[in-house]
Amino acid sequence: MKMNVAIGAGLAVLTGIGAGIGIGIATGKSSESIARQPEAAGKISQNLILGCALAEATAIYGFLIGILLIFMG
């Protein structure tokens, strides 16, 4: 395997770090929001789940790109 492919695959998988940080920040902020306005917990939770799903999708895309680079490159 070429060294460039390995470096590219490693960089592609690093998108999981950004997604993890984003999900952690979003979870913390939603917990603060629910603590301040408990009556809005339903709407806050719905938005949190949607945001976490989108952030996790970017991590999955990065992982798939890394896998494709390894096996196709």
pLDDT in tens, 25-47: 999 999 999 999 999 999 999 99
pLDDT band at 1 (very low <50, low <70, confident <90, very high): low
Number of domains into which the chain is organized: 1
Cα gap 26→47, rounded to integer Å? 10
Q: What percent of the chain has pLDDT over 90?
A: 48
pLDDT of residue 38: 94
Q: Give the CB-side neighbour count of residue 28, counting CA atoms within 13 A.
A: 6
- Overall pTM surpassing 0.95 (yes/no): no
pLDDT band at 9 (very low <50, low <70, confident <90, very high): confident
CATH number at residue 53: 1.20.20.10
**Range of 31's domain?**
3-72
pLDDT of residue 12: 85
